Structure 1
């Protein structure tokens, strides 16, 4: 065997492991994950100049939407960590719209993206991109309608009224004068007192008192005093007559 044949065989043996190693190296690299930053400078808002508008499936209309994408088809997202102000940090691990190289995130309207880091797998990329943003519309809040307070007027309590017991005088009527107390009916004169038997004594019968008339000429009833005076005078006359009668009878018996 010549020297050249031996050298050719030795070279062929060494070439086989090299080919195997070259084939296995890409497969080993494809299974590892690595971290890449966002290509756009931060901080950034969805409405900033240079940010393209677009559509963000699954993002509510009252939120800002953010669409992130990887630059090559051989690389996919494994984990995406973003931080908004306000809104805080969000960690996304589900990517399927439409493939694993796309990621959609929602934030409060007007929030600022302050940090974005992605853990990816496959290929060799140095960053990922913000494809476009979807500015949201703030929810309209209607202030509650408050009815003005109803002001009630103060309740005035009228003082209790005491019903009057006196009736007003009727027009055209006159109040009759108070009645005069007397034993003699009005309009008649007291009967004259009968004198006792005629005597020579100084006692004389008391004349009756004439009836008193009012201003219109009508007779007024005698008062109780006049009636009593007439009775006393009659009694005195009777007593005086009896006394004289006894004296006369006594004189006759003496004769």
Structure 2
């Protein structure tokens, strides 16, 4: 009988050890996702970016607004000359849309770069500059906007959202950090930590829809909502509320 108890205790000890090792392994493989940190010396738009349209989009039945998924309180940066732009569409029905890109001008006369006609799809939409096209210039600032034509025969019915983007040089430190990254989430973490919003969000918004990508995408939007809420302008506060509405919709969609 004593021998039987010894064998039972030995088996239980081995089972506990296995569980402990497995738990330790899980703890080691769970990596905290980085927060988005704005640039240490952020640039600010000289004038507020346009936020138009009523809640619900063209149909006025939605729970959110047409919103650019990019900073407004400060100007978002990228080290890519072919960046990815993202925005949220509230309307369920397909509507004509335009993506427009302008090079910022000191004389306040933005120069048109792109004017692409699209069709809306509900939720988060993206547009990336093709690698076959001439890229954006390092050191330049651009204005981009999305326009939904609610009633094509009545231009005044259009709703518009826009944001700025700065194209900057990739530093040696950033190159070294990225060389060690093996997947989009790792790269997004690095970009977010170093203040490159467009790169960070672009890495996950169009990637495979798995748990880590979704988590980081929502984390980045949560960070952006907090940053906008901390701004002093009414426009930043309004942008924060819009992003919070989008977060609520995105989370419900995953239930």
* TM tier relative to shorter chain: under 0.3
Where relative contact order (Cα < 8 A, 6+ residues apart) is larger, the structure is 2
Q: Which structure has the greater CA radius of gyration?
A: 1
- Give the TM-score taking structure 2 as reference length: 0.21
- Give the TM-score taking structure 1 as reference length: 0.21
Which is helix-richer, 1 or 2? Answer: 2
